[in-house]
Each structure stands twice: as structure tokens, then as C-alpha cells.
Amino acid sequence: MLKQLYIKNFALIDSLDMDFYPGFSVITGETGAGKSIILGAINLLLGQRAESKYIKKGSDKCVIEAHFDLSKYNMQPFFTDNDIEYDANDCILRRELTAAGKSRAFINDTPVPLSIIKQLGEQLVDIHSQHQNLLLGSEDFQLRVLDIIAQDSNIVTDYNEAYDKLVSARKAVTAKKREIEKNVENEEFLRFQYRELEDARLESGMQETLEEEADKLNHVEDIKGALFQADQILSGSDDNGVVASLKEASRAIENIKEIYSEIGDVAERLDNCYIELKDMAQEINSHAESIDFEPGRLQQVTEKLDQIYSLQQKHHIDSVDALLEIQDSLGEQLSNIDNSDELLKELEQKEKEALEVCKKKASQLTATRKKAAKIVEEGMKKRLVPLGIPNVKFLIRIEEKEYMHDGCDRVSFMFSANTNSELQPVSQVASGGEIARVMLSLKAMISSAVKLPTIIFDEIDTGVSGKIAEKMAVIMQEMAQSDRQVISITHLPQIAARGTNHYKVYKEETSTGTTSRMKQLSQDERVDEIAQMLSGADVTEAARHNAIELLKMCKKL
């Protein structure tokens, strides 16, 4: 729960450092004194979007910091999951905002994204402001109330998983139908493209091989002439070629090798050259005899290459391998077309199975909500009758709707304050004071089901007074038990007198302008404050006497 709140340079607040305590506390002050500013600072701390206009005029930075005691709430897993140091006795949340528009958030001095501090804030503080009364008209809010009372988070999780699978299965069926429709329109063209590629009988590496062969066929006369010329030079005719001459040279050196030993190495090398050159001459001769001009083959190669180039240009690629990939893709699409009915039936069967699972989970969820609805109906009647609505009728209507992420239940809170009035949606028929009492009763029920450390009510007493206000204060006192802290911002003395701790917000003129202040009141100061709330004017002895009696009645003096 909240132990300490520090605010620096926020709106009209230059500096505020206030301690808070367990139990039921109240905050009072004139309209415009700055109570909403303090709430705004807390909202900013808990993750609300920051704007530089919040910074006090003339300041470079505002800081909002709060200390919480988490020792009774088993929240360590959150800190472990987010790699944040955990201190159960002193958890520090801090938000800093500069005039340049930069915002930073910290948990226990660890910088964190705004989403993380917001996630933690939702587990620490619930602020009920006046505009939240509008939530009574929200189906989502009403549904959340039932789920909180039902404590059905596991069932909700199971349903969400089933619903996600149903959505995925439906998307798969829809996508397959669109694909079939599109493929049917394009089937003839796809088959033409596939046959064209298939008839080309393409193979990996074919293009490079054909291009090399075409180059050779286009230069066959040059190749044959060069080979013939080389053959004549090496082999010649009448044994007058280079090979024959080299052989004679080798024999001549061989004859003197015995008497002129120094030439032995040259003789061996010359003999090796003769053998190598003779082999080359024979190979050149063989190539010269095998080379022949084939006009028909050149035409075949040219036509095949033209076919490959045409296909590449058509498909905007530059290799046979890429054409083969396109051919495979077209084949797969045609296979899907041929088997589309069977594939669609399989997907539709999966959708049907997912729907059955979703129905089962939704039915379980509806059953738990209906049980919770009975609990809420009975609990609301018990709370609203003492709050001045003796003939209250409160009914939760649960109707079936299409499957959505939150189930198949449409929830409506139906309300009537009079015996002769028909039940209608609470947001349409309840007065402002009745809505305030309904919301307080709902919050009281929710707080008993959720272990939320701190609840702040911002003028929940709007539209009520006298004994009803006192009853509302008693409810808030009861909510403040069981390790829970309740803070009420109020204009009613009946509620203010019930607080264990009483704070006052007021304005003060300083050398730098108007400033909002906050202080914890002593017993004497409480008497004066409540007396002023009772009299609405200057504090008289009669008003002080009434204030003392009110505090005594609330067992505070």
C-alpha cells in the first residue's frame, strides 16, 4: 500500500512530501484547491501519458515518486520476470518529466518502459474518479465485474486459447477459398505457363553448355584451319615436320652421349620433348579429323537458346535455375488446384473441431458467470438497501452473442429503484446519486475478490448526503480492512469524520505565485475542517460543537 508520496514542480505544486497509512483516510479541501492535481500526479506516476504542460511554470523538470509496502501481496514474480530489484517493504516508483518533453520511468531506481510501470501500477492502485461512473454503461466493464467475482481467470485463459485457434482456423478456410477462387480464374494461364516450361525440358547448367557449344559451332572453320596448320608444322609431309626434325636431333645427341658425358642431361631432356611433342601432334591431328561443320546442329542449339532467352525475358529472370523454380511453383499451384476441394474439406473440418472446443469452453465460462451474477445480484441488494434504495431491484441479464475474444455473453446490469418501475439498464435510469452508490457497492464487492493494496475514491459521494453519506463511509471503512488502504476525496463531513487519517489540500499565495499545499490534520484541525464543511461559512462555536459530536459518534475523539 502507499506509504509516501513526493511531488516536485507539478502544475501548481512546487513541493509535496506526504506520508500515508493503512486503513481509511480522507482528503478534503475547497473546490479548485488542487485535489485533482494530486490525483493527476498519481495517474502520471502510474503510467498515464506525459505532457510538458504538467511542469510547474518556470521549472525545468517535475518529479513524482511514491513508496509502497508490498510485504503482504506476494508480488515478487513480477519483479523477477522484469529483472527488477525487489524490496517488499519499500517499492519505489518514480516518474520524471522535463520541459523538453522527455519522460523517464523508474522502479526501484531501475529505468523501465512506461508499459512496465503501468502494468505494476494497475496492481498497486485503483483510482475511481467521477468519470468512471460512465463505465456502468460499458458492457466490457460489466463483464469484467462478473469475471472478477467468478475468479474464472483460468477458464477465461482456456477459452481465449480455444477462440484464438478458432479464429486461425476460420482465417485458413477463408484464405483457402480466396486462393481457390483466384486459382480458378488463373488456372488456364497457369497451365499454359507450366506446359511451356515443361516442354522446354530445362536442366540445371543447360544454358552455359549450349552457349559454349554455339560459340564453337560459329567458329568451326577457324578452329579447323588452326588445327590443320599446326598439324602440318608438327608432322608435315615426307617426314619434314618439327617432330621428325626433333627426332633426328635427339638421335644425333644420343650418339655422342657415351663419349661426351656432359651432354647426357640435354639428351634426356631432348628425348622427353620429342615424346611430348609427338603426343601433342597426334592429339592435334585427331582433333583436326574430328572437327566437322554441322549446320543442322548449330540451328538446333540456336533455337534452344532462343527458347531459353525468351522464357527468361517473359518471367523477368536470368537463369535456367530460376526458371526451374518457377516451374516447381506453378506445379505446386496446379497440384493445389487439383486437390483444392480435398484441402478445403480438411480445413473446414479443423474449423468445425475448433468451434466445438470453443463452444465447450464458452459454455463453461457462461456457467461460471451466471453463478457469479447471482452472487452480485444478492450482494448489490444487501449493499444498496442500507444506502437508501430500499426497493432496489438489481438483475444481471446474460444473453448469447457471437463468439468474441471475451466469450459469447452479452451482459447488462438492469436496475430499478422503485417498486412500480421496470428494470432497465442502470446507466439509463439511475440518478447521479444512485450511480455513485451502485459503483461504490460494486467496488466493495470487487475489492473483496481482488487483493488490491490501495483504492482511491475521487468524490464517490457525488449526489448523496446525510445518512446515506455516512453509510457509504462505513462501506469504505469496511473495505479498508484486510490489508487494504482506502483513500476518499470528499466534500461531505459525514465521510470525512470516518477517516482514520485526515488530509487537507489548500492553496497558498507565495512570492512565486499560487501554490497547492497538502497537510495531515491534527485532531483540533480536524474539528475546524469538519466544522467548516458543516457550516459552509466561518467556523462558529455551534459548528465546532457539531463537528466534535460527529467525530465522537464516529469514535474519533
Task: Read off the amino acid at residue 540.
Answer: T
Q: How far apart are CA 338 and CA 180, in angstroms?
A: 10
CB of 32 closer than 8 Å to CB of 57: no
Which residues are CB-contacts of 193 (< 8 A; sequence separation ≥ 6)?
A: 326, 330
Q: How far apart are CA 388 and CA 470, in angstroms?
A: 11
Cα radius of gyration rounded to whole Å, the chain:
46
Residues 258-273 have pLDDT tens digits of 888 888 888 889 888 8
Residues 192-250 have pLDDT tens digits of 888 999 988 999 988 888 888 788 778 777 787 888 888 788 887 666 788 888 888 88
Beta bridge partners of 285: none
Which residues are CB-contacts of 506 (< 8 A; sequence separation ≥ 6)?
A: 29, 30, 33, 34, 516, 517, 518, 519
Side-chain-side CA neighbours of residue 66 (13 Å): 26
Q: How far apart are CA 200 and CA 213, in angstroms?
A: 18
Which residues are CB-contacts of 311 (< 8 A; sequence separation ≥ 6)?
A: 196, 197, 200, 323
Q: How far apart are CA 557 and CA 550, in angstroms?
A: 9
Q: Give the residues of the chain that fall short of pLDDT 50.
A: 557
pTM, entire model: 0.69
SS (H, E, C) 149-218: HHCCHHHHHHHHHHHHHHHHHHHHHHHHHHHHHHHHHHHHHHHHHHHHHHHCCCCCCHHHHHHHHHHHHH
Cell of 484: 487494504
Q: For position 134, what pLDDT does the model report?
A: 60
Helix %, strand %, coil % of the chain (to 5) = 60, 20, 25
DSSP sequence for 409-469: EEEEEEEESSTTS--EEHHHH--HHHHHHHHHHHHHHHHHHS--SEEEEESTTTT--HHHH
